[in-house]
Structure 1
Amino acid sequence: MAEYVQKKATSLFGNLKYEPLIAGVTGGVISTLALHPLDLVKIRFAVSDGLTSRPTYFGIVHAFKSIVKDRGFLGLYQGATPNVWGAGASWGLYFFFYNAIKSHMQDSQNELLGPGKHITAAASSGVLTLLLTNPIWVVKTRLCLQYEGVRNVSKSVVKTQPKQYKGMTDALIKIYRYEGIRGLYRGLVPGLFGVSHGALQFMAYEELKKLYNHHYKQSNDTHLGATQYITFAALSKLFAVSVTYPYQVVRARLQDQHKAYKGVIDVINRTWKYERYKGFYKGLAPNLLRVTPATCITFVVYEKMKHALMPLKVST
């Protein structure tokens, strides 16, 4: 039995390749830099429960105008540093683990996996990635929710806590010092439920590519055009978001430094009590505006870079 487990582990590690890691990091960083302002607005909408003193926004455009007016253009990039680190690491590690696990499941290089195995590979990759990156996402949420000096629609200064964190490193140190490891892993439970989001997205993406290649009688590893990658990425993302979005609201509220919850059940109960089902979909519009092009950019850059790096490996 021990020999079998060792053989399986060796086989899995043998499938780890650097190309998906580099391609995933690059795609994640580029898409995040381009679309972070929408992520900032999405988080602020997601935690807006109408009970805590916060800036008041009446739509995406109004939110952008208010942030720029109060903090300048750079205010739209509040929390961008951990977001870039988190997105780069998450996409890189996700593709890194996903390709290794998928290859490990294949009996031959050309074997086509079914939806079940795609979901299994994607879910396993998601759990591993989340365990490594959750502290970065906690920091990103905290930095995005610093409202010092922000005014609401009535022009009066919103009474919020003073600025708590100077930046990403300061936030990591302070959260660990005052809240311990538990603080760095706030939102982990809904994040684990959120693994289903990535699993559904990757399953849909792989199945769409497989159907396309089958229709045109091409091999499954055929290098497609940017239009195909964009279409498959957008459709798979819209499908995953529509099914799993509420977990992002729950996760953001657990990571919010301005309000304390006892846990996931408490967030769900209080959100339902005061906001009903609409509360679980706050921030959905800016999220869709952000994640759809972000996913398209990430997947196109990933696919293009992965294929570009392959000849380099062959030549060496």
Structure 2
Amino acid sequence: MNPAAAIPGAQSRACTVAGSASTTTTSSAPPARSLFRHVHFENLVAGLSGGVISTLVLHPLDLVKIRFAVSDGLELRPKYNGILHCLTTVWKHEGLRGLYQGVTPNMWGAGASWGLYFFFYNAIKAYKTEDKLESLGPTEHLVSAAEAGAMTLCITNPIWVTKTRLVLQYEAGVDPSKRQYKGMLDALIKIYKYEGVRGLYKGFVPGLFGTSHGALQFMAYEELKSKYNRHRNRRSDLKLSTLEYITMAALSKIFAVSTTYPYQVVRARLQDQHNRYSGLVDVIRRTWRKEGVHGFYKGIIPNVLRVTPACCITFVIYEKVSQLLLNLKNGD
């Protein structure tokens, strides 16, 4: 005989308990399933494509930005009077190879960073909007982008260290024997061998602060698109034209760069093999003492000239490629 049947109400209580257990089990499962349901590798491929192409086109300006950023008066560093002088000097003494020093890790870094950033950001954003009737607000966009940025940096920081080291091999373009690092893989191996994991993650802390850059940019980008569509009496998530994407990307990038640039100077100096700092505070203190506020904004003009068109190229390629891939996936 079933013991539960001998007790009045026991069966119904058992059913209730079983039902609630079943409900608990069922309700605990959807978050994981719903999170993975929003993972689209099309976003990864599209972001990677945009990052690689924009890097190939604009890498020389990135080299100029880094050389200006670490310019702290050391005698071993070449002296440049401006962006054009730097470009022509590198071209004259080191040729095309000199202008593209560090391009391999830069392509890997930019491609991986943009790809992973779009990948994580879209998954997080879609997960957060799943049970909402309205779109995310500025703060939610900001937090989602910051979370995506932190996750991306954990994976890509060693690539950025190698890029900085390769870019700062001042005579490598003209005299291969003076190269400290032969290439990206050689740099990764040597940094790990002589400096350990700590060396590969130099600049990680200011890099974490730098996630605010991407967060501010994505927040501004999303808000600009949404408000622009509402102004035109269209759905807030409606796809834009190429020119409209370029405009939104440029405005959001300029806003983010002007707000957060000093962290890039601090990060580049921490990663520089020609100088030694005891840590983040030491970089800030010495830069402030020797160069003042100006020291934290060295290289900002070539940076703006590089990142604004780079961002436009990346975002347009991302929007078009992701739309194409998602349409192919859905059979549209």
Range of TM-score over shorter length: over 0.9
Q: Does the alignment pair 1:235 with 2:238?
A: no
Deviation at 1:225, TM superposition (A): 0.4
Q: For residue 88 of structure 2, what is the amino acid of its counterpart?
A: K
The structure with more radius of gyration = 2
Q: Does the aligned pair in 1 maintain the 2:227–2:236 contact within 8 Å?
A: no
Q: Does the aligned pair in 2 maintain the 1:118–1:203 contact within 8 Å?
A: yes
Q: Distance in 2 between matches of 1:149 and 1:10?
A: 51
User: 1:110-259 maps to which residues of 2 (within 5 A)?
Assistant: 111-148=134-171, 162-259=178-275
Deviation at 1:216, TM superposition (A): 1.7
Q: Does the aligned pair in 2 maintain the 1:90–1:133 contact within 8 Å?
A: yes
Q: Does the aligned pair in 1 maintain the 2:95–2:173 contact within 8 Å?
A: no
Is the partner of 1:25 in helix, strand or coil? Answer: helix
Aligned residue pairs total: 308
Q: Distance in 2 between matches of 1:8 and 1:184?
A: 35
Deviation at 1:85, TM superposition (A): 0.5
User: 1:254-293 maps to which residues of 2 (within 5 A)?
Assistant: 254-293=270-309
Q: Distance in 1 between matches of 2:40 and 2:81?
A: 46
Q: Distance in 1 between matches of 2:98 and 2:74?
A: 24
- 2:125 is matched with which residue: 102, 118, 133? 102
Deviation at 1:53, TM superposition (A): 2.0
Deviation at 1:286, TM superposition (A): 0.4
Q: 1:87–1:149: structure 2 CA closer, same or farther, 3 Å change rule?
A: closer
**Post-superposition, which runs of at least 4 consecutive aligned residues in structure 1 deviate over 6 A?**
1-5
Q: Distance in 2 between matches of 1:177 and 1:257?
A: 15
Q: For residue 8 of structure 1, what is the amino acid of its counterpart?
A: P
Q: 1:255–1:52: structure 2 CA closer, same or farther, 3 Å change rule?
A: farther
Q: 1:238–1:140: structure 2 CA closer, same or farther, 3 Å change rule?
A: same
Deviation at 1:13, TM superposition (A): 2.1
Structure 1 residues not aligned, in runs of 5+: 152-156
Q: Distance in 1 between matches of 2:263 and 2:26?
A: 40
Q: For residue 207 of structure 1, what is the amino acid of its counterpart?
A: E
Q: Does the aligned pair in 1 maintain the 2:91–2:99 contact within 8 Å?
A: yes
Match in the other structure for 1:79: 102
Q: Does the aligned pair in 2 maintain the 1:103–1:109 contact within 8 Å?
A: no
Q: Does the aligned pair in 2 maintain the 1:123–1:198 contact within 8 Å?
A: yes
Is the partner of 2:277 in helix, strand or coil? Answer: coil
Deviation at 1:5, TM superposition (A): 6.7
Q: Does the aligned pair in 1 maintain the 2:60–2:99 contact within 8 Å?
A: yes
Paired-residue identity, %: 63
Q: Does the aligned pair in 2 maintain the 1:272–1:279 contact within 8 Å?
A: yes
Structure 2 residues not aligned, in runs of 5+: 1-23
Deviation at 1:309, TM superposition (A): 1.3
Deviation at 1:6, TM superposition (A): 5.6
Q: Does the aligned pair in 2 maintain the 1:234–1:296 contact within 8 Å?
A: yes
Deviation at 1:45, TM superposition (A): 0.3
Is the partner of 1:165 in helix, strand or coil? Answer: coil
Q: Does the aligned pair in 2 maintain the 1:28–1:298 contact within 8 Å?
A: yes
Q: 1:221–1:164: structure 2 CA closer, same or farther, 3 Å change rule?
A: same
- TM-score scaled to structure 1, two decimals? 0.93
Deviation at 1:107, TM superposition (A): 3.2
Deviation at 1:111, TM superposition (A): 3.1
Deviations along 1:70-122, one digit per CA (max 9) or x if unpaired, are: 11122110000000000000000000000000001003587311001000110
Match in the other structure for 2:12: none
- 2:324 is matched with which residue: 304, 308, 311? 308
- TM-score scaled to structure 2, two decimals? 0.89
